[in-house]
């Protein structure tokens, strides 16, 4: 799974496609509907990978919950998040239930998942272009809060859906219970964040920081599994407490450099669960509409909801036109969190309906990842968040020390030389630098222990 996912990502990289697309397609190719190379027992017994992936994704997202940043535009960001998340939810529910005739419980879960956003490709574009400005700040803060709304909506929707599919009545207790569980998970995550603060800071070597952090994430996932709850909100709160009490962002870079193998397995495993038969044929409470039509409707309606909601939210929040017009474009991608929640939904609902839910989200996620990077870069470019003119990117003195004016060729050569130096310095990613520093420090400590007389 890992080797095939990596090899296919080398091909998609040539096509300028994100790795997530390669991993999901790898799972589909290895799965029962193409080459059938992975035994069914491996697929069924590895569903815990969704919890681990959600833990890593959520912990990384929690880094952006800095109180100092949220205080500046807190209420404005809340307004934007509520509008862009709930608008997508409402439009997807209306389109699926009222127009296509899909059952209300299934439409409700699908609509809740529509609110999730995963613009990892957009964030990568931000780093590559060194984009700055109001749009970038608004985007990062919106993403940080967006998945919280999505998980709360999902928890409520899946409770109602499971009760409806099992013929049970939906009462106040069944609705309040998951909210109470999620609040408990948040509180437990905050406690783990405080413990992590003292445990990581007091560790004697840098490599121990990574060991302690990973151990605590896995332990937290185990507790959430016992509680039959998603670790998403808890891992976010854990990271939030840690970053606000320590201001230590290097740990997040180390974990981001460590986590790709887990995320690769998660996305490949998601592709293994892709059901081609379900995509073509009608399924039970889905109604008489083929699932492919439901998937296309979900894909298009969510884009409309995200863009419209972001536009209206920015309008009410008083954001400038460049943010209002282009924020929705950067919120189109959807992958990690939505796929993880769809996997949990498949586990909760079960049967053909559960497979149908996961199939829709996987299919649309592939499409979102295909157009997401282009939309994100377009939003940053149109909003003026980064420069694409060489003279704007690299500033040089247009005169020599003797006061003579340099030729255009000399200026061009000088700018290119500066860019080449910057590329050499930044060739290694921040995550890789943090991980390398940890390894070097460990080697230094080990060398001193081997030579105590020195």
- Please report which confidence band the pLDDT of residue 53 belongs to, taking 50, 70 and 90 as the band edges: confident
In this structure, the answer to whether residues 91 and 182 fall within a common structural domain is yes
Q: Tell me what the mean pLDDT of segment 308-331 comes to.
A: 90
Q: How far apart are CA 186 and CA 189, in angstroms?
A: 5
Q: Provide the token pair at 395.
A: 């500033």
Q: Which residues pair with 405 in a beta bridge?
A: 399
| 16: in domain | no
Asked if residue 18 belongs to a domain, the reply is: no
Residues of the chain with pLDDT > 90, as a percent, come to: 20
Q: Predicted confidence band at 218 (pLDDT cuts at 50, 70, 90)?
A: very high
Among the ranges given (61-75, 190-204, 235-249), the one the predictor scored with the smallest mean pLDDT:
61-75
Closest CA to 146 of 296, 17, 327, 1: 327
The residue with greater pLDDT, 314 or 441, is: 314
Q: Say what the pLDDT of residue 66 is.
A: 80
Is residue 186 located within the same domain as residue 120?
Answer: yes
Residue 283 half-sphere exposure toward CB, CA atoms < 13 A:
22
Rg value, the chain, Cα: 24
> Helices marked H in 119-205 — which ranges?
120-129, 134-165, 172-201
In this predicted model, which residue has the larger pLDDT, 385 or 286?
385
Question: What is the Cα–Cα distance from 411 to 389, expressed in whole angstroms?
Answer: 13
Residues 355 and 406 in one domain: no
The backbone torsions φ and ψ at residue 405, rounded to the nearest 5 degrees and listed phi first, read -75, 130
- Residue 337, in any domain of the structure: yes
Domain co-membership, 402 together with 343? no
**Confidence (pLDDT) at 91:** 95
Tell me whether residue 356 is in a domain.
Answer: yes
- Read off the pLDDT of each residue in 85-104 and give the average, rounded to a whole number: 91
- The pLDDT score that the predictor gives to residue 189 is 94
- Give 99-151 pLDDT, tens digit per residue: 988 888 899 999 999 988 876 656 666 766 677 788 888 887 787 788 788 88
Q: Indicate if 136 and 189 belong to the same structural domain.
A: yes
User: Could you tell me if 272 and 416 lie in one domain?
Assistant: no
Residue 351 clears pLDDT 70, i.e. is over it: yes
Domain boundary residue, one of 382, 404, 420: 382
Higher pLDDT, 147 or 250: 250
Sign of the alpha-carbon torsion through 269, 376, 428, 208: negative
- pLDDT grade for 37, boundaries at 50, 70 and 90: very high
Question: 346 and 443: one domain?
Answer: no
CATH of the domain at 97: 1.20.1530.20
Residue 40 counted as domain residue = yes
Does 453 map to a domain?
no
Q: What pLDDT sits at residue 19?
A: 80
10 within some domain: no
**What's the number of domains the chain is made of?**
2
pLDDT tens for 403-423 read 777 777 776 677 666 656 655
- For the chain, give percent helix, strand, coil, nearest 5: 80, 0, 20
Q: Identify the band that residue 433 occupies on the pLDDT scale cut at 50, 70 and 90.
A: low
Q: Which residues contact 216 (CB under 8 A, 6 or more apart)?
A: 192, 195, 196, 199, 238
pLDDT band (50, 70, 90) for residue 446:
low
Clarify whether residues 369 and 222 are in a common domain.
yes
Task: Render pLDDT for 281-306 as a digit per residue (tens, 0 to 9).
Answer: 655 556 677 888 888 999 999 999 99
pLDDT of residue 83: 93
Q: Identify the pLDDT of residue 4.
A: 95
Of the candidates 30, 46, 50, the one whose C-alpha atom is nearest the C-alpha of residue 339 is 50
pLDDT tens across 149-160, in order? 888 888 888 888
Question: Does residue 13 fall inside a structural domain?
Answer: no
pLDDT at 443 over 70: no
If asked whether residues 184 and 234 sit together in one domain, one would say yes
Q: Are residues 303 and 435 in the same domain?
A: no
136: containing domain:
23-382
**Residue 59: beta bridge partners?**
none
Angle, in degrees to the nearest 10, between helices 172-201 and 134-165 = 130
Do 318 and 193 sit in the same domain of this protein?
yes
CB 82 within 8 Å of CB 314: no
| Mean pLDDT, residues 6-22 taken together | 83
Place of tokens 């296919």: 8
> 52 and 164: one domain?
yes
Residue written as tokens 């890992």?
2
Supply the pLDDT for residue 183: 86
Contact in structure between 25 and 366 (CB atoms under 8 Å): yes
Among 360, 382, 404, identify where a domain stops: 382
Domain boundary among 337, 358, 382: 382
Residue recorded with tokens 């409707």:
297
């Amino acid at each position: 799974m890992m080797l095939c996912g990596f090899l296919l990502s080398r091909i998609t990289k040539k096509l300028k496609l994100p790795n997530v697309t390669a991993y999901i397609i790898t799972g589909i190719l290895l799965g029962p509907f193409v080459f059938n190379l992975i035994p069914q027992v491996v697929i069924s017994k590895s569903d815990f990978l969704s919890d681990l992936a959600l833990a890593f994704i959520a912990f990384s997202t929690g880094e952006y919950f800095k109180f100092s940043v949220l205080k500046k535009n807190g209420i404005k960001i809340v307004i934007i998040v509520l509008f862009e998340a709930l608008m997508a939810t409402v439009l997807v529910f209306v389109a699926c239930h009222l127009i296509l005739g899909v059952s209300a419980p299934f439409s409700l879960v699908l609509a809740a998942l529509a609110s999730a956003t995963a613009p990892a490709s957009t964030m990568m574009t931000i780093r590559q272009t060194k984009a700055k400005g109001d749009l970038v700040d608004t985007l990062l803060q919106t993403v940080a809060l967006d998945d919280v709304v999505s998980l709360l909506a999902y928890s409520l929707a899946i409770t109602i859906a499971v009760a409806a599919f099992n013929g049970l009545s939906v009462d106040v207790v069944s609705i309040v219970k998951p909210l109470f569980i999620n609040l408990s998970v948040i509180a437990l995550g905050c406690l783990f964040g405080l413990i992590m603060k003292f445990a990581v800071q007091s560790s004697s070597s840098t490599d121990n920081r990574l060991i302690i952090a990973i151990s605590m994430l896995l332990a937290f996932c185990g507790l959430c599994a016992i509680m039959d709850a998603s670790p998403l909100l808890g891992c976010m709160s854990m990271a939030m407490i840690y970053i606000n009490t320590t201001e230590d962002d290097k740990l997040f870079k180390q974990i981001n450099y460590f986590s790709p193998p887990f995320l690769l397995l998660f996305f490949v495993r998601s592709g293994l669960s892709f059901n081609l038969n379900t995509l073509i044929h009608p399924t039970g409470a889905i109604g008489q509409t083929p699932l492919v039509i439901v998937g296309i409707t979900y894909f298009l309606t969510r884009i409309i909801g995200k863009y419209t909601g972001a536009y209206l939210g920015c309008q009410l929040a008083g954001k400038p036109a460049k943010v209002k017009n282009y924020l929705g474009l950067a919120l189109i991608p959807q992958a990690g969190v939505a796929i993880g929640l769809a996997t949990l939904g498949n586990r909760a609902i079960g049967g053909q309906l559960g497979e149908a839910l996961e199939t829709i989200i996987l299919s649309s996620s592939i499409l979102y990842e295909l157009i997401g990077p282009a939309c994100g870069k377009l939003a940053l470019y149109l909003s003026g968040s980064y420069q694409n003119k060489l003279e704007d990117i690299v500033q040089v003195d247009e005169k020599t020390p003797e006061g003579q004016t340099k030729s255009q060729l000399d200026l061009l050569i000088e700018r290119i030389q500066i860019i080449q130096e910057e590329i050499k310095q930044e060739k290694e990613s921040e995550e890789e630098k943090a991980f390398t520093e940890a390894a070097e420090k460990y080697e230094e400590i080990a060398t001193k222990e081997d030579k105590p007389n020195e």
